[in-house]
Amino acid sequence: MIQFTSDPTTIVATLSAATYVIVEVIKRINVISDRFLPLIAIVVGVALGIAYKVDILLAILIGASACGIYDLGKKTVAGK
């Protein structure tokens, strides 16, 4: 049986990773221009935050951290 935690750090880390994956899928299927991906990440972060009943500011930070994860991966892996 899966038990969910109420630890805010775990929730933020999990939702940030989920936001990153969703934005990456959107990017790879070319639904939207790459320049809008940070905005999409924040929208997805807010949506996931609302779904998991976290504070709206925390939800925005989830999307923003997913943008940071994406940019870090892009710069580190691609060397740009």
* pLDDT value at residue 1: 45
| DSSP class per residue in 6-17 | --HHHHHHHHHH
Q: Residue 31 phi/psi, 5° resolution?
A: -75, -35
Tens-place pLDDT, residues 2-45: 456 677 778 888 888 899 899 889 989 988 887 888 888 889 98
Give this prediction's pTM.
0.74
- Give the integer Cα–Cα distance in Å for 8 and 74: 27
